[in-house]
Structures are given as C-alpha cells and as structure tokens.
C-alpha cells in the first residue's frame, strides 16, 4: 500500500469537518477529509426536522453553551459570527426563515446546507474519502499516520471532527474520545442532552402541547411542553434537559402567565374549579391534574378552603416532577460532555498535550442550547482551526 503525504488530515465529514476542510484548503494547504459513512453530513440532513436550524440571528455566546469551561467558546465564536454563515447561505441562494428566538431554518430543506458544504469541497486541494472504516492513528516524529487496511496517510496536522455519541446508526462513534484519551486528555462524562424526559403518568395526554415554565438546577425555561407516550418533550423540555442530571427533580409551572388566586378573584362561588382552569389549559390536562393532586376539580369556588386553594396554587405553579430518565442517545440531539477543553487551546483548537492534534465541533465538551447554537459552534470552531492551519 502506498503511503500518501499531505498537509492536514481531517477525520469526520460532518458539519465541523466539512467546514474545516474548506477553511484549511483556502490558502493552498492539501487536505484529506475522511469519513466512515457513505455520505457526508448525515446529521445535518435530519437536523431541525429536516430544515436545519443552522444558526441563530441573535448570536451565540457563552451563556448559550454548557461546558466545564464556560469561557472556552468565546474566542472562536467572536471570530465567526452568525452573519458569516448567513452570507454563505445568501451567496449560494439558500432560502431561509426566522422562527422564534432568532432561530434560522432552511425554508426548503437541510439538503441545501449539504449542497453548499459539498460544493466547497470541490476545491482541488481537498480530497474527500468516504467509507474509510476502522481508522487507526499513530503519532511519529513528523506528525500523524492515519491508516486502515486500504489506506495510509501521513500529515503533520490532524483534526478530529468525529462528533458526539448521538445516533450511532448514522455514524456516531467514540473514535475522537478514545483517541484523545490515548494522548492524555480527560473525557467529561457524556450524557444525552436536548432530549425528552421519561416521566410516568402523563401518557393519556400524549399529543397535547402548551407553554409551561420549567426550573431545573436554577435554570428557568418558559416554552412549549409536549406530552408524549413516554413523558414530556417539546422545546421547553429539550432545553431543560441540558441542565438535568440523573435523579434531579424539575419544577413545572403549568400556567406561568396567571396566578390561581387571580383567576378565581371576582368569580361566582357557584363555578367549579376545573371549569375555570379549562379556560386556560386543555380539558384532559385539567382532569389529570386534579387526579394527580388528589383533589376534586368539581368543587365549587365558594367552597374552597384556604388550604386547598394553596394546594392548587402550589401544584399549578410549582409541581415537582422527577424524570425516570431521558429517552437516551437514540432520541437526543446532542452529547453533553466530551473531551475536556482544559487541555485544548480555545484560540487554535490545538491539543496542549499533543502538538499538531486538533479537536473541533461536538467531540469537545461544548454543548449548545437548542436554537442553532450547536451548528454555530461547529462553523466557528472549524473557522478557528482553519485560521490557524491554513
Ligand atoms: C435529530 C437531530 C437534530 C438536530 N438539529 C439541530 C439543529 O437544528 N440545529 C443545531 O444547531 N444542531 C442540531 N443538532 C446537533 C448537530 O447536528 C450537531 O451538534 C452537529 O452535527 C455536530 O457536528 P460535528 O461535525 O461535531 O459532528 P457530526 O455532524 O456528528 O459529524 C461527525 C462525522 O464523523 C464521522 N465519524 C464518526 N466516527 C468516525 C470514525 N470512527 N471514522 C470516520 N468517521 C467517523 C461521522 O460519520 C460523521 O459524519 C441536531 C442533532 C440531531 C441528532
């Protein structure tokens, strides 16, 4: 087998790897981009319900990320704003639309993003190799050898863009984490995030959705909550899951906009309590709510004792629920945790333990909140590594 010499090897042709190949090759560096899948960017294609929430118009900053080192993302994000990627979309005639909270989605399909990223790979300095299975990495005096039974590539620089653990069925692997460990990097424990909760007792409400306020570990989110067969989902829950650890409880405010006391003020004493609540919340939710708190919803307002009124108020606005778990890596959007950023340069994304080795995208302990922040991290970290290596 011939040994091929190149300038930069990138493993992983997902969001961050494809962008990094483009940035690295722009100034003439020879890049090999490898992926064990048959197709590039498979996660991009299924992201955002097939429309890819590719960035956030309001920008991404440290508060939009979960990481042991909150400041790590600052440098890369500050050098590649959402507008840089939006301009790339505009130049390539990708139609997009703004949804709630500045989230930008493709109007037609996420395939458009892959089309643009693939067109950037048509650079003569980039060689894309797919189905490169069972890759191994060896460090030597002149850099790195990346090889399998069919291939042997050598380069002084290696970029790992193999992502997190979500959806192994479409290519996710722990390749990057294992490799990082062999060079002495610590791995922050990995758990599924942006993921539905399993909570028993709500399956009869499956399909209902409304805005609720959720508090978990001092983080408050007020957004749509969707009832599922297994528990709770929807943006409010996915966002909350970023801050949740196994065993934690969440506090749910089912009616954040009104207090129960205000609702019953100036109301005729003959009206039933559930009739009032059904004006604001789905009927079947209200029925289940009273069942759960073991109170009679048919009680007339005039007959409510102060204690029962407080009980309803408390459960309506601060119900404590303890999820049994999450729906796991099969249903999550991202992996929380990953390669500890402590030994990675925030400016160049280069390992401080192994010169020449770089990590970008989700493989690192950088997890974005729902809203396009994960892709923005991919674009920005790819840009930072490109600036450094090109
Ligand atoms: C259902 C879903 C919806 C999502 N929606 C959004 C959204 O709308 N907005 C948003 O910002 N984020 C979204 N995300 C998160 C986002 O997709 C990821 O954060 C992002 O794709 C991470 O990019 P990456 O380049 O780090 O890794 P990936 O995109 O996962 O790419 C990693 C690549 O490495 C390859 N690879 C892995 N192991 C090996 C190996 N051993 N050898 C060779 N190649 C390997 C994989 O095949 C893959 O192509 C979503 C995720 C999911 C699962």
Give the pLDDT band (50/70/90) at residue 209.
very high
Q: Write down the pLDDT at residue 266.
A: 80
Fold annotation for 4-191+335-389: FAD/NAD(P)-binding domain (3.50.50)
Using DSSP's 3-state secondary structure scheme, residue 66 falls into strand
Please choose from 40, 57, 163, 192 the residue to mutate so as to test ligand 1's pocket, defined by most ligand atoms within 8 A of CB: 163
Kindly report the number of other CB atoms within 10 A of residue 158's CB atom: 23
Task: Give distance in angstroms: CA of 10 to centre of ligand 1.
Answer: 15
Q: Which ligand 1 atom sits closest to the C-alpha of 373? A: 11
pLDDT in tens, 314-357: 999 999 999 999 999 999 999 999 999 999 999 999 999 999 99
The Cα–Cα gap between 222 and 368 comes to 18
Contact criterion met (CB below 8 Å) for 264 and 276: yes
How many other CB atoms sit within 10 Å of the CB of residue 336? 25
Query: What are the pLDDT digits (tens) for 46-59?
Result: 999 999 999 999 99
| 3-class state of residue 305 by DSSP | coil
Which of 164-173, 263-272, 380-389 is least confident?
263-272
For residue 286, the tally of other CB atoms under 10 A from its CB is: 21
- The residue extents of the domains of the chain are 4-191+335-389, 197-326
The arithmetic mean of pLDDT across residues 359-366, rounded, is: 98
pTM (two decimals): 0.96
- Does residue 161's CB lie within 6 angstroms of at least one atom of ligand 1? yes
């Amino acid at each position: 087998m011939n040994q091929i010499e190149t300038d930069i090897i990138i493993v992983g042709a997902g969001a961050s790897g494809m962008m990094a190949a483009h940035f690295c090759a722009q100034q003439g560096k020879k890049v090999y981009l490898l992926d064990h899948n048959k197709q590039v960017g498979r996660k991009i294609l299924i992201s955002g319900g097939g429309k890819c929430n590719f960035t956030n118009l309001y920008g991404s900053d440290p508060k939009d990320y979960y990481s042991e080192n909150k400041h790590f993302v600052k440098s890369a994000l500050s050098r590649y704003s959402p507008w840089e990627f939006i301009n790339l979309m505009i130049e390539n005639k990708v139609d997009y639309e703004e949804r709630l909270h500045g989230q930008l989605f493709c109007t037609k399909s996420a395939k458009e993003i892959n089309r643009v990223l693939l067109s950037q790979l048509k650079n003569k300095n980039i060689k894309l190799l797919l189905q490169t299975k069972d890759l191994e990495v060896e460090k030597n005096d002149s850099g790195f050898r990346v090889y399998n039974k069919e291939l042997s590539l050598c380069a002084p620089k290696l970029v790992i863009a193999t992502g997190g653990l979500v959806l192994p069925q479409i290519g996710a692997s722990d390749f990057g984490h294992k490799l990082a460990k062999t060079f002495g990097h610590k791995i922050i424990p990995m758990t599924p995030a942006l993921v539905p909760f399993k909570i028993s007792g709500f399956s009869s409400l499956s399909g209902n959705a409304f805005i609720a306020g959720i508090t978990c570990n001092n983080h408050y989110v007020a957004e749509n909550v969707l009832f599922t067969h297994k528990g709770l989902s929807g943006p409010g829950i996915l966002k909350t899951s970023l801050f949740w650890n196994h065993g934690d409880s969440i506090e749910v405010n089912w009616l954040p906009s009104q207090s129960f006391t205000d609702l019953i003020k100036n109301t005729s004493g003959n009206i039933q309590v559930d009739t009032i609540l059904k004006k604001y919340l789905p009927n079947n939710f209200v029925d289940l709510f009273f069942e759960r708190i073991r109170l009679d919803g048919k009680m007339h307002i005039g007959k409510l004792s102060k204690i029962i009124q407080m009980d309803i108020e408390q459960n309506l606005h601060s119900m404590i629920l303890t999820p049994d778990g999450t729906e796991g890596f099969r249903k999550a959007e991202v992996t929380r945790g990953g390669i500890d950023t402590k030994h990675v340069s925030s400016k160049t994304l280069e390992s401080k333990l192994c010169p020449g080795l770089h990590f970008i995208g989700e493989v690192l302990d950088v997890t974005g909140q729902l809203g396009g922040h994960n892709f923005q991290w991919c674009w920005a970290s790819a840009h930072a590594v490109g600036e450094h290596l090109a």
